[in-house]
Amino acid sequence: MQFRFHVSGGLEDIDAFWEARGLDRSKERFLFAGYSRKQQPHTIYLQWMRSHDECCDVLLGIEARPPAQVWRRRPVGKEHRLKEKDFREFIEFARDQEVPWGIKARYAYPWSKSFAAGPRLPAKARVKSLSIEILEEKDRVALTLTLERSGATWRAIVEPTARFPFPKGKDFFTQPFETRCSLAQSLAPESE
């Protein structure tokens, strides 16, 4: 799962928040943590970057892979370790910032179905990525489904166009997790 949100005029405040927790301003605006859930390695990461003027965009991601697989060519040193307490405090801090357009979510799932119904391709063509727009009743795009090759396997990336407001309360992940589970059911292989 990935979440993006825009913080109006918040770059300096976010930099100061992390500087107070030991992140040198000259370092990249990137933090991560590896953890285990149900004996499966996971990675959570947080990145923020200037979007324009004093505003910034924040990217928060959770992947069901260890950090070394998420960033194969990137050294991730101790100065970029994300502590759970700091992460929780950052979510509380971000909730009080101006997030005018809400949060945009993106979900990725393993994909094992074939492309039998896909377009006819030349014999030497190799599909790396295929995107499909799913429309609502009024012909507006409801979500984009992208099938993407990742090594020898495929994954389905689902990106709803609707944004959700910054969650209230202590659990940031409840609504996005419920959406992820709902989408997973619709993408699950059909039972025979």
Task: For the chain, give every domain's residue range.
Answer: 1-101, 103-192
pLDDT value of residue 191: 42
Class of domain 1-101: alpha beta
pTM for the model: 0.81
Mean pLDDT, contiguous 10-residue spans, the chain (192 residues): 93 94 85 87 92 93 86 74 91 92 88 63 80 87 86 84 82 71 66 40
Cβ(182)–Cβ(188) below 8 Å? no
For the stretch 127-173, pLDDT in tens is 788 888 988 888 899 889 888 887 778 888 889 888 988 887 777 77
pLDDT value of residue 55: 95
